[in-house]
Amino acid sequence: MRKNILILVIGAAVVVAVDQITKSAVVSRFFLHESYPVISGFFNLVYVLNPGAAFGFLARASETFRLFFFVGITATVILMILFYIVKSQADNTLNVVCMTLIFSGAVGNLVDRVRFGAVVDFLDFYIHTWHWPAFNVADTAITTGAVLMIWGMIVRRARNVQD
């Protein structure tokens, strides 16, 4: 259990710090909606505020509703992850790393919601005129944690089927 808590504390500190430092750099150096091409035709740094969630989910809802909804959901997820990591007796490091990534991303985006009422996004990948929705380090951590968790479940299931 101590190893799990250590992974959570160190991992979360690093991810949240990188997330907030990169967002602060963008906010301090860019005007809102400004774009800087990094790889022409593929990748820009931008400064956008996303009041919703992934793909603009609930972006048009009232600000008060969004604040309570997203803070409530995020707080619930954070508490569930803390409970899992503290109570987990299993020595499954991959699960703890996955949960830490999801936890860290949730915390990073929660900080933005409390500070700005929206999440700062700045990574803009695109091909010609098709743009993937802009995202940030916290979103990357959440996605990576979820994908690794699914991959781990598939591998464990495949191992169990073979046994």
Which residues are tagged catalytic? 121, 139
Please tell me the distance from the alpha carbon of residue 70 to that of residue 10, in angstroms, as a whole number. 25
Are 26 and 37 in contact by the 8 Å Cβ rule? The answer is no
Q: Is 127 helix (H, G, I), strand (E, B) or coil?
A: strand
Please tell me the distance from the alpha carbon of residue 130 to that of residue 84, in angstroms, as a whole number. 39
Are 130 and 53 in contact by the 8 Å Cβ rule? The answer is no
Q: H or E stretch including 97?
A: helix 93-116
Strand partners, 125: 43
Please tell me the distance from the alpha carbon of residue 159 to that of residue 61, in angstroms, as a whole number. 45
Are 3 and 90 in contact by the 8 Å Cβ rule? The answer is no
Q: Is 160 helix (H, G, I), strand (E, B) or coil?
A: helix
